[in-house]
Amino acid sequence: MSTPVNVSVIYYSSTGTTHAMAERLSQGAEKAGADVRLRQVAELAPQEVVDSVEGWKQHRNETQDLPVATPDDVVWADVVLLGSPTRFGNVASQLKQFLDTLGPQWAQGQLADKVYAGFTSTQTEHGGQESTLLALYNTIHHFGGLVVSPGYTDPLKFADGNPYGVSHVTGANNDAELTDVQHAALDHMAERAIGVARRLKSGEAA
């Protein structure tokens, strides 16, 4: 019997792309035998800003009843997969604000020794995907977490092209759907993170 692993997929999405990536990761983690929590973070943008971007208001309406992330979702997890669209080459403020509320858990050592990895999306091909993931991992280093990026640990990553995590280009209209390349990369990242966490937990048990 394999060692049980808890996975939290915590993300922010404005128009739905990062949400679709998070859902795929959740499905991949479940297929890998993990217990999964899929959680969005709270919206911080003013309503007039949300209304001004095509698809933003519709996505918020469609996902308003989904569970919102809490610190317990991080504490509970052995694996935390964090997703954010790129904002000027950096992590979206909505996800960063959630991470910034985890000071009490950090102070108690409850965020350390977990497996973390990230995913992101941009409108343009060179829109800051790598810098966003690297910025995200700065926080994980402070947590004492274990960054388990996919690297080039499977040939499929040469098609995906991002060793730091998983990324997707939406196009200017935010309408480019995930392809088989992204699906495979997301599945691989979930499986790899869970596999590492499972080996860590098995070692602890032994």
Instruction: Read off the amino acid at residue 57.
Output: K
Kindly indicate the confidence band of residue 172, based on its pLDDT and cuts at 50, 70 and 90. Answer: confident
The string of pLDDT tens digits covering residues 130-151 is: 999 999 999 999 999 999 999 9
The string of pLDDT tens digits covering residues 82-109 is: 999 999 999 999 999 999 999 999 999 9
Inter-residue contact 40 to 19 (CB < 8 Å): yes
For 189, the token pair is 């990242």
Inter-residue contact 41 to 69 (CB < 8 Å): yes
For 149, the token pair is 């990026």
The total number of structural domains in the chain stands at: 1
Residue 115 included in any domain: yes
In this prediction, residue 47 carries a pLDDT of 80
Q: What is the CATH number of the domain that holds 162?
A: 3.40.50.360
Inter-residue contact 12 to 6 (CB < 8 Å): no
For 195, the token pair is 């596999």
Q: How far apart are CA 100 and CA 3, in angstroms?
A: 31
- pTM for the whole thing? 0.93
**119: nearest Cα among 96, 145, 74, 85:** 85
How many Cα atoms are found within 13 Å in the side-chain-facing hemisphere of 140? Answer: 22
Residue 150 included in any domain: yes
112: containing domain: 6-205
Residue 188 has pLDDT above 70, yes or no: yes
Residue 1 included in any domain: no
Residue 155 included in any domain: yes
Interaxial angle between packed helices 129-143 and 93-100, expressed in degrees from 0 to 180 and rounded to the nearest 10 = 0
> Percent of the chain scored above 70 by pLDDT?
96
Q: Is 164 helix (H, G, I), strand (E, B) or coil?
A: coil
Inter-residue contact 81 to 9 (CB < 8 Å): yes
Q: How do beta strands 115-122 and 79-87 pair?
A: parallel
Give the pLDDT mean for 174-189.
89
Residue 24 included in any domain: yes
CA angle 120, 71, 92 (to 5 degrees): 30
> Percent of the chain scored above 90 by pLDDT?
72
Residue 200 has pLDDT above 80, yes or no: yes
